[in-house]
Structure 1
Amino acid sequence: MSDENRAGRAADVLWRAWTSGVRIAALPDEIRPRDDAEGFATQLAIGGRAGRSYGWKIAATTAAGQAHIGVSGPLPGPLFERFRHDPGDLLSSDDMHMRVVEAEFAYLMGADVAPGAGRDEVLAAVDGLHLAVEIPDSRFERYETVGAPQLLADCACAGRFVLGPEVPGWAEHDLSRWGTAVWINGERAATGSGGNVLGDPRNALVWIAEDLRRHGRGLRAGELVTTGTTTAPVPVGPGDEVRADFGELGEVAFSFAG
């Protein structure tokens, strides 16, 4: 079986799990990705089933997150338009598996990032910064045990995403020191800061620019990159009201159906 056929068949299995809500223990042996490159090829194949992607997420940008899912570093995954939401939306709750929310900083790219671009060039390509909340999810019953290649195939636990407001004067703020909080039903559930994201969300953006190049891809103008959770993932359930508080920068609020 060709590598392309393996990736396509694995994508079919994962997409069926995604759309049905039925989780799987693991991909079948004959199509299970053997390394990160095959895992990434599978997530690209899922794009042919899920539709338009408007950017990237980064999973496991904290040491605790990496330890929890048994990986040695962050993982990239696509953001699909069909799972994108706006602040104030009511999100379905009956198909959630991981049942957590994450307060994040997301960069909007204003220019393509050239292969081999250095840190300054990557940051110069940014056009804006948004506040956001990711609702990650997985198609695996025990995502924390399946390993990096299968997690990459699973789009790095991509799920739904709420894109919040743009931050005026974003380049003036030191996000590595910027405090964040997540409130559930009017009670503070977690606090953190941009420093939890590889020390600085800008570090995460530079990281993914280099990692995508490793996979033969690159950041492009118009893409959004959400850089990873600033707090510990916060448990949620049906009927919960969520508010991610970024201080004077603003907030992102929405709720889950009961």
Structure 2
Amino acid sequence: MSSTDACAELIWQAWTTGERMAALPAEIRPADADAAWRAQRALDQRAGHRYGWKIAATSLAGQAHIAVDGPLPGPLYERFRHEPGDVLPSHDLHMRVVEAEFAFRMGRDVPAGADVVDAVAALHLAVEIPDSRFTDFVAVGGPSLLADAACAGRFVLGPEVAGWQADDLAARATTISVNGEPAAHGSGSAVLGHPLAALRWLADDLAARGETLRAGDIVTTGTTTAPPTIAAGDTVRADFGDYGAVELSFRH
């Protein structure tokens, strides 16, 4: 087994068992972003259908928290996709946070150099429940985090938003409530200054890696607030003002 496959296999084992690692073994630990990207793509062979992408660390605070100098792309896997109102598992949560996000659905493929915004078919409200397979994810470094699917976990795609093109998403306020109590406030400006800036960043980053956004892909652009902590039994509501809200809860 190659070091790439061994890395992906160990991450996937941790993902499916709920066990956590202090670090990847030195002999299979990706030394740079290219090696980490190969390991992340090897996860596709284990996790199954990938229907889109997430972007981690789209704020300066988020980048500082995990000691990286820019955002990280990660996969959205169908088996970890949920609907608004779902009751999600809680036994395997490690990071135990939730994120209110703006997500875009692509209407067509985006060839290198094309304006990705022109290919957007819809804006959706969303909640990401990120997670990591590392005991201390803030200490393992960018390549290991990239190999670990950029802290991908579970994801809830909320309602489509009509008429958003005329609005300034950067100024759109968001609030997360946990068990009916406000837990975090933010806005679209937390996401690289604007959610569309994050979408453009991802399109460029994928192109540099020989990948492309495809018709039907969902891209969730990053947290709009400091992510609040959640626990088993909690009910979460991500409120986007008159755009609507996304609600979910976690099993006891």
Place the TM-score, normalised by the shorter chain, in its bin: over 0.9
Tell me the equivalent position of 1:83.
80
Secondary structure of the residue aligned to 1:71 is coil
Give the alignment of 1:158-197 within 5 angstroms: 158-197=152-191
TM-score norm. by structure 1 comes to 0.97
Gaps of 5+ in 1: none
4+ residue segments displaced more than 6 Å: none
Secondary structure of the residue aligned to 2:98 is strand
1:103 aligns with 2:97: no
Deviations 1:45-67 (A, max 9, x none): 01110000000000000000000
Secondary structure of the residue aligned to 1:141 is coil
Q: What is the Cα deviation at residue 170 of structure 1?
A: 1.9
Tell me the equivalent position of 1:37.
34
Give the alignment of 1:1-258 within 5 angstroms: 5-117=2-114, 121-258=115-252
Q: What is the Cα deviation at residue 129 of structure 1?
A: 0.4
Opposite residue 37 of structure 1, the aligned amino acid is: D
Secondary structure of the residue aligned to 2:44 is helix
Secondary structure of the residue aligned to 1:31 is coil
Secondary structure of the residue aligned to 1:137 is coil
TM-score norm. by structure 2 comes to 0.99
Provide the aligned length of Structure 1 versus Structure 2: 252
The share of aligned pairs that are identical, in percent, is: 61
Q: What is the Cα deviation at residue 231 of structure 1?
A: 0.3
Q: Which whole-Å CA distance do the structure 2 matches of 1:36 and 1:145 have between them?
A: 16
Q: Which whole-Å CA distance do the structure 1 matches of 2:58 and 2:112 have between them?
A: 23
Q: Which whole-Å CA distance do the structure 2 matches of 1:7 and 1:168 have between them?
A: 43
Deviations 1:87-114 (A, max 9, x none): 1100011100000000000000001111
Q: Which whole-Å CA distance do the structure 2 matches of 1:134 and 1:59 have between them?
A: 10
Opposite residue 78 of structure 1, the aligned amino acid is: P
Opposite residue 227 of structure 1, the aligned amino acid is: T
Gaps of 5+ in 2: none
Superposed CA RMSD: 0.8
Q: What is the Cα deviation at residue 116 of structure 1?
A: 2.1
Q: Which whole-Å CA distance do the structure 1 matches of 2:96 and 2:156 have between them?
A: 15
